[in-house]
Amino acid sequence: MRSENPSGADNQQERPGIEQWIVGFVDGEGCFSISVVRNPGCRLGWQVQHEFSVTQAASSKSALDLLVEEFQCGRVIENPRTGDHHELLLRFSVKRRADLVTTVIPFFEEHPLRTAKLLDFERFVVVLRVMQNGEHLTEAGLRWVARQTELMNRRQRSRYLESSEAIRQPSPTDKETKIWSGPHGDVGSFRAKFLVG
């Protein structure tokens, strides 16, 4: 957050309570997502991607710019147009693991979410910490992450897990397994395995 930047201290005083506004806004529109996607350039042929995002109509771009300014990371990008929306959608997006680990996660640990999105955030944190340990670079670790994404989104089967040959014979027609944050799941056993002790 901006408080880490000495030059930002004065500006921050102009927005009292901005941290709680961010928490509320993210409780409403934020998304913590983990994806396992095809990437032939990776040793296992698959890559784990992570993103913290907030989506708004273009008319609220200033609110997304405010997030860039306050977090001092991420950027505002255009969402692909879908048939459901008449207006252009923009997305505040933080994908860099370093930004997530050093800025986004500490912020929401200090200022907890108040909705069920807190559970998504906690799952997100566990996966990121496992990745910090390099566990996802092993076949067993990657398989474990893919299982977590299935728990996080019960409606969607992991493409990675669907194909037992996935690691050795990646196919360019395979789509990514994208796991958007949902209100469900149980990461208790995961936590116990990776974080305790």
Would you tell me which residues interact with its own copies (CB under 8 A)? 16-30, 56-57, 59-60, 62-63, 66, 86-87, 114-117, 155, 183-184
- Phi/psi at 111 (5° precision): -125, 85
Which residues lie across from 53 on neighbouring strands? 31, 93
Beta carbon nearer to its own copies, 24 or 194: 24
Q: Tally the C-alpha atoms within 13 A of residue 136's C-alpha that lie toward its C-beta.
A: 23
Closest to its own copies by CB, 25 or 144: 25
CB of 18 to its own copies, least distance (A): 7
C-beta of 67: minimal distance to its own copies in Å? 10
Instruction: Kindly tell me which of 43 and 85 has the beta carbon lying closer to its own copies.
Output: 85
d(CA 32, CA 152): 10
Query: 22 or 94, CB closer to its own copies?
Result: 22
Shortest separation between residue 99's beta carbon and its own copies, angstroms: 21
Q: Which residue type is seen at 157?
A: R
Query: What count of other Cβ atoms lies within 10 Å of the Cβ of residue 134?
Result: 9
Calculated CA dihedral for residues 12, 61, 179, 80, nearest 10 degrees = -160
CB of 83 to its own copies, least distance (A): 14
